Amino acid sequence: MGLKVPKLDSVTFAQLVEEAIKRIPQYAPDWTDYNLHDSGITLIELFAWLAEMQSFYLDQLTEDHYRKFLELLGIELEPDEKLEDAIVRAQRDLKKPYRAVTFADFEYLAKETPDVKIARTKAMWNKDNNTVEIIVVPEEHTNATEELRNKVCLYLDKHRLLTTLMEVIDPEYVLVSVQAVIRIKPLASATEVKKRVNDMLEILFDPRRGYNGSGWPFGRTVYASEICTRIEDVEGVDCVQTLVLSAKGKVTSGNLEIGRNALTDSGVHEIKIVDSQEPCRRQVIV
């Protein structure tokens, strides 16, 4: 919510005269004639007129004033841009974070680094060296180049607080593989169901577009029950009978924990289809 623009020209000539006359007994108790023929009243009316005129001019802002205000904010009018549009643009820009104070500020400003394409960012505190770590995920499916990290670091250096130490790093990618035995619904094609499940898992673990569409959350545990639910939501799947998760040499039929600065990525998945006549019994430890 923005500040309300004050109205300076809010007092009329009559109000100014009335207010001045009320103060006469306080400052000049011997003055008792408040009629119009009194020369003192004439002076009061003169000063009230001057005060009303000054308040009127104070309340007026010309286009030159607005242009100077925009210059003070470092905003220049673009070619063929109207002054009103520039003012709206300035108000919009003022709402954007400029100083990196919170983790959200670091994450936002890192993505705003000029001449780089960053898909995701995550800022967190490293208590071992008292440093703010900013994890950057470039739009390409690779780690950030040294040039990209340097650009982000230099840009954030202009916006950080003086005593804040920071470091721009890459995320740790964890390749998650799923081995599942699933039962399909009658008349469903095993080949098509396997393809749909495999495609779903590849998207689910994608660090940029997975999970809810914006990538797997940093450091979030891969829950076996959640993966089962996702698989069972695939068209043609009746239920998941067994599920095994593996990553970084660890194999588990339970949950798979990843580091706090880690993101999942899709490994190689093995999907086995069982006869639809067999009873559906989930054998997953959750």
Tens-place pLDDT, residues 168-221 = 999 999 999 999 999 999 888 999 999 999 999 999 999 998 898 889 999 999
Tens-place pLDDT, residues 74-88 = 888 888 888 888 888
277 pLDDT tier (thresholds 50, 70, 90): low
- Report whether pLDDT(24) > 70: yes
Q: Look at residue 257 and give its three-state secondary structure.
A: coil
Adjacent-strand bridge partners of 182: 240, 273
Tens-place pLDDT, residues 109-168 = 999 999 999 999 999 999 999 999 999 999 887 788 899 999 999 999 999 998 999 999
Tens-place pLDDT, residues 5-17 = 667 788 899 999 9
Domain 103-169: assigned CATH number: 3.30.300
The identity of residue 58, as a single letter, is L
The identity of residue 10, as a single letter, is S
Domain positions in the chain: 13-58, 63-94, 103-169, 173-274
Tens-place pLDDT, residues 40-97 = 999 999 999 999 998 888 777 788 888 888 888 888 888 888 888 888 888 887 777 8
Nearest to 43 by CA among 25, 60, 26, 20: 20
Q: Cβ distance 156 to 100 under 8 Å? A: yes
Nearest to 235 by CA among 270, 192, 282: 192
Cα-based distances in Å from 120 to 29, 95, 274:
75, 21, 39
The whole-number pLDDT of residue 285 equals 45
1 pLDDT tier (thresholds 50, 70, 90): very low
Tens-place pLDDT, residues 218-248 = 999 999 999 999 999 999 999 999 999 999 8
The whole-number pLDDT of residue 93 equals 79
Whole-structure pTM over 0.85, yes or no?
no
Using N-to-C axis directions, what is the helix angle for 39-58 and 13-22, rounded to 10°? 130
The whole-number pLDDT of residue 278 equals 56
